[in-house]
Amino acid sequence: GNSVTQMEGPVTLSEEAFLTINCTYTATGYPSLFWYVQYPGEGLQLLLKATKADDKGSNKGFEATYRKETTSFHLEKGSVQVSDSAVYFCALRGGGSNYKLTFGKGTLLTVNP
């Protein structure tokens, strides 16, 4: 079945540091890949997505590239802010009629001023 493995946290950075959160996946067919973000006390929000190999998703300064050869979708941001402190989830949706989302365990990011 489908599975997502993402970097264990927590991750603590200083403001303006570079962020990478690793995500790898196992899936049959051609999945779509997502990063969701959960701010404290809130539900999840879609941060970015990529639906085919070599696609780059981007939003709010965050980027992730769908790498089929390494089955990866790592999240990056060049300069984090305190307001980026949240839990980040990598997720995939299988191709075709397999439309259910499979989530990774989440990575807590704390950015200090």
Partner 1 sequence: NAGVTQTPKFQVLKTGQSMTLQCAQDMNHEYMSWYRQDPGMGLRLIHYSVGAGITDQGEVPNGYNVSRSTTEDFPLRLLSAAPSQTSVYFCASSRLAGADTQYFGPGTRLTVL
Q: Which of 86, 106, 109, 111 binds partner 1 (CB under 8 A)?
A: 106
Size of the site for partner 1 (CB under 8 A): 20
Q: Which of 10, 42, 69, 70 binds partner 1 (CB under 8 A)?
A: 42
Torsion of CA 11, 103, 54, 85, to 10 degrees: -30
64 interacts with partner 1 by CB under 8 A: no
Nearer to partner 1, 17 or 103 (CB): 103
32 interacts with partner 1 by CB under 8 A: yes
Give the torsion sign (CA, 19, 105, 49, 33): positive
21 interacts with partner 1 by CB under 8 A: no
